[in-house]
Chains A and B, each alone.
Chain A
């Protein structure tokens, strides 16, 4: 059923995609940084500190999206026992942890000059920290559980239970009073970010996505080789 995802079919595709991304990444990164730091205008209240948004928002989105995809694949893996999904999850987890940490760090560097505090215990920030711990436990389980069957079970459990946190993060700003502002961009509503800032934001999101794809493909390739190496002897 999930044959199209078999490592043997996509190995060459991974090679090609990696080469392609490597060739376009740096030009796009430079354009993105120029827009974020120089060309985009300062905000009418926040001034130049708004430029941190171009890092903070894409990081948070990718941190959430990684966990959501991992939870989805874990559920499929649990139901259909497709081993390959486990490899994908293992490759996604470090990307998610990286960007969740970055969202928190850039967020506090943004909070200090605008709110007046690096950190507050409001619902949005706290739930984001909980997400970071879920990623942390997940990666620890990858590192320390050697028994493959047990590892698949434990990591699926962590991702599926952790996914309950995702709607809490998303709606924390609507359900409770928080210091963090509500969402500026939501489906079906016009964006509350002016186009002169929205396009740089989309560009930076593209940069972050390309980088994530690069890391993901390299990690996934490593996992494939690791498995095949074990199999050389048994063949």
Chain B
């Protein structure tokens, strides 16, 4: 049963290689995308933190989206 699944009547090497390559490339893209996202989030919050209290309030009031980005990452601030 298990050896059938691995050898697949001689096609095993091609089938398993395709699945491994697909999984590998997809995971690599996933990790890279996530890393870049985290990096930008961190830099963004860093800049927000460097503003004075007053500036921060003004910025968050003016832009809805900045507000949303900072609320979804509240635990970091």
Of residues 195 through 235 on chain A, the ones whose CB sits less than 8 Å from some CB of chain B are 211, 214-215, 218-219, 221-222, 224-226, 228-229, 231-233, 235
- Measured CA separation A235–B58 after assembly (Å): 9
Question: Any chain B CB within 8 A of the CB of A112?
Answer: yes
* Pair A232/B59 contact, Cβ less than 8 Å: yes
- Proximity string of chain A (9-49) to chain B, C-beta cutoff 8 Å, 1 when within and 0 when not: 00110010000000000000000010001100010000111
- Measured CA separation A178–B43 after assembly (Å): 52
Given A55-B18, A102-B25, A229-B43; A219-B68 close (CB under 8 Å): no
* Pair B8/A109 contact, Cβ less than 8 Å: no
Question: Any chain A CB within 8 A of the CB of B54?
Answer: no
* Pair B36/A222 contact, Cβ less than 8 Å: yes
- Measured CA separation A34–B63 after assembly (Å): 47
- Measured CA separation A47–B7 after assembly (Å): 12
Given A11-B65, A55-B19; A113-B11 close (CB under 8 Å): yes
- Measured CA separation A15–B47 after assembly (Å): 21
Q: Give B36's nearest chain A residue, CB to CB.
A: A222
Min CB distance, B33 to chain A, in Å? 5
- Measured CA separation A108–B40 after assembly (Å): 38
Interface of A is mostly: helix
Question: Any chain B CB within 8 A of the CB of A140?
Answer: no
* Pair A218/B37 contact, Cβ less than 8 Å: yes
* Pair A37/B19 contact, Cβ less than 8 Å: yes
* Pair A55/B40 contact, Cβ less than 8 Å: no
Residues of B contacting A218 with CB < 8 Å? Answer: 33-34, 37
A–B complex contacts, Cβ < 8 Å, 22 sampled: A7-B65, A11-B68, A12-B72, A15-B72, A42-B8, A51-B8, A52-B18, A98-B26, A102-B26, A106-B22, A109-B21, A221-B37, A222-B36, A222-B37, A225-B41, A225-B44, A228-B63, A228-B65, A231-B66, A233-B47, A235-B58, A235-B63
- 9 nearest A-B residue pairs (beta carbon): A48-B8, A8-B65, A49-B11, A48-B11, A106-B18, A8-B64, A225-B40, A109-B18, A222-B37
Residues of chain A having any CB pair with chain B under 8 Å: 7-8, 11-12, 15, 33, 37-38, 42, 47-49, 51-52, 55-56, 59, 94, 98, 101-102, 105-106, 109-110, 112-113, 211, 214-215, 218-219, 221-222, 224-226, 228-229, 231-233, 235
